[in-house]
Copies of this chain bind each other. A is one copy, B any other.
């Protein structure tokens, strides 16, 4: 999908920073704001911190990016949207991996009592160790 077209499609103006941010997240899946900033500045050294945060929000609101916030770590962004997949987070280094949900509507995702809340989405985060941290013995 053409990034420019994707932006226009959602009524977003096509700007250099937006294209670069979108592309950077594509190249670095699960990148945090700082990684995106650094990456974008490689080819567009003048972008401001706020521009990046701004763009990330705009793209997230437009449904082009998905925001992930693992407890205790800065927010990450990914381009894989629209499918029902979840994440594994490493207790050691915070690395993130994708996990496809084997069963779309597992029993556990239809809670028994909801305390009166209207439920819209279920979000699953698995916690464990990535191969690198396991090898390093980070128990």
Chain B residues with Cβ under 8 A from A102's Cβ? 107-108, 110-112
B75, B90, B108: the one contacting A101 at CB < 8 Å is: B108
Q: Is the pair B127, A119 in contact by a Cβ cutoff of 8 Å?
A: yes
Segment from A10-18, A47-55, A92-100 that makes contact with B:
A92-100
Q: Is the pair A86, B111 in contact by a Cβ cutoff of 8 Å?
A: yes
Given A71-B75, A103-B108, 5 more contacts at CB 8 Å?
A: A102-B107, A108-B108, A114-B128, A120-B127, A124-B125
Q: Within the oligomer, what is the number of copies of this chain?
A: 2
Question: What residue in chain B is nearest A73 (Cβ atoms)?
Answer: B69
Q: Is the pair A126, B134 in contact by a Cβ cutoff of 8 Å?
A: no
Q: Is the pair A91, B120 in contact by a Cβ cutoff of 8 Å?
A: yes
Chain B residues with Cβ under 8 A from A111's Cβ? 86, 88, 99-102, 126
In the bound assembly, the distance between CA atoms of A136 and B10 in angstroms comes to 29
Chain B residues with Cβ under 8 A from A125's Cβ? 122-125
Question: What residue in chain B is nearest A85 (Cβ atoms)?
Answer: B111
| Min CB gap A16→B, angstroms | 29
Chain B residues with Cβ under 8 A from A90's Cβ? 117
Question: What residue in chain B is nearest A121 (Cβ atoms)?
Answer: B127
Chain B residues with Cβ under 8 A from A118's Cβ? 128-129, 134
